[in-house]
Amino acid sequence: DYVVKPYEPSELAARIGVHLKLRKLQAELVRANTELHRLTQIDPLTEVSNRRHLSTKLEEEYLRARRYDRPLSFGLLDLDYFKRLNDTFGHPAGDLALVEVAKIIKATLRCHDLVARYGGEEFAMLLPETPADRAILAFERVRSAIERAEIKYDSVSLPITASLGVASYPHQLVAKPADFITLADAALY
C-alpha cells in the first residue's frame, strides 16, 4: 500500500491498522490450516497416524526403497481377543487399551518409524532402512512390551497380548505398496 504526500496522519494510521489486522488474520489462517492438515493425518483416539497417512507414507517409502535399493519393512499388529476384552470390561476399557498400546509401540520403535492405527484393534508399523531380520527383532520387542505392560482400567489389569505379521522389501513378492499389507496380513494369520 502507499499514501501520497501530503498525507493525513489519521489515514496513515488507519491503513497501518488494516494491514496489521490482515497480517494477524493470515497468520491465524496458516495456523488453522496447519492444524487441519495434522488432524487429517492423525487417529483421534490413539493420536498415531491414521490409515490415510499410512497409505501415503507407505507409497513414498516404497518408491524410495526401490529407487535406492534400500530395505523397508512393514508390520501389522493385531490385539488378541480384543472383542472379548470389550465384552468383558466395556468399550471404555478397550479404548484405554488402544491408547496405551499405541504409546507402547511409539516408545519401543525408533522416532522416524511410522505407527498408524490400521483398523479397529490393528496397528501398522513402517520401518524405513530396516531389513527383515532387524524388523522381526523390533516387532518382537513391541510384542513383548505389550505383553509385559500393566494396563489397568478401574484398578483391574487388562490382559493384552498381540500377534504380528511382517513383510519386507526387497522380496520377490513385493512389487507395489499394497503387497506389504497383503503379505503382512497373511503372516499375521
Provide the 3-class DSSP secondary structure of residue 52.
helix
Distance CA 150, CA 129 (A): 31
Per the residue annotation, which of 28, 121, 147, 150 is the catalytic one?
121
**How far, in Å, are 13, 14, 25 from residue 19 at the CA level?**
10, 9, 10
The three grid cell numbers given for residue 2, joined into one nine-digit string: 502507499
DSSP state for residue 41 in the 8-state scheme: T
Instruction: Specify whether 121 is catalytic.
Output: yes
Provide the 3-class DSSP secondary structure of residue 79.
strand
Scanning the chain, the segments in alpha helix (DSSP H) are 9-39, 51-68, 82-89, 91-108, 132-148, 177-188
Q: Mention every residue, 6+ apart, whose C-beta is less than 8 A from residue 139.
A: 75, 77, 125, 164, 166
Contact 116, 53 (CB under 8 A): yes
Give me the active site residues, please: 121
